[in-house]
Amino acid sequence: MKVMRDDLHVLTGSYVLDAVSDAEREEFERHLQHCRLAILAAAASVAAAVALGVGELSAQHQLDRARETAISRVVTAPDARVETARTSAGGSVTVVTSAALRDAVVSSTGLAPLSSGRVYQVWVMSPSGARSAGLLHGTSLLATIAPGDRIGITVEPAGGAARPTTNPVAILPV
Q: What is the CATH number of the domain that holds 26?
A: 1.10.10
Domain's final residue, options 49, 73, 97: 73
91 and 150 housed in the same domain: yes
What pLDDT is attached to residue 166?
A: 95
73 compared with 5, residue with greater pLDDT: 73
Rounded to 5°, angle at Cα 79 from 76 and 84: 80
Instruction: Supply the range of the domain harboring residue 109.
Output: 81-173
pLDDT digits 0-9 by tens, 110-168: 889 999 999 999 999 999 999 999 998 866 788 899 999 999 999 999 999 999 999 99
62 and 103 housed in the same domain: no
61 and 91 housed in the same domain: no
Mean pLDDT of the chain: 75
88 and 160 housed in the same domain: yes
89 and 151 housed in the same domain: yes
Domain count, the chain: 2
What pLDDT is attached to residue 64?
A: 60
Q: Is the entire prediction scored with pTM above 0.85?
A: no
87 and 155 housed in the same domain: yes
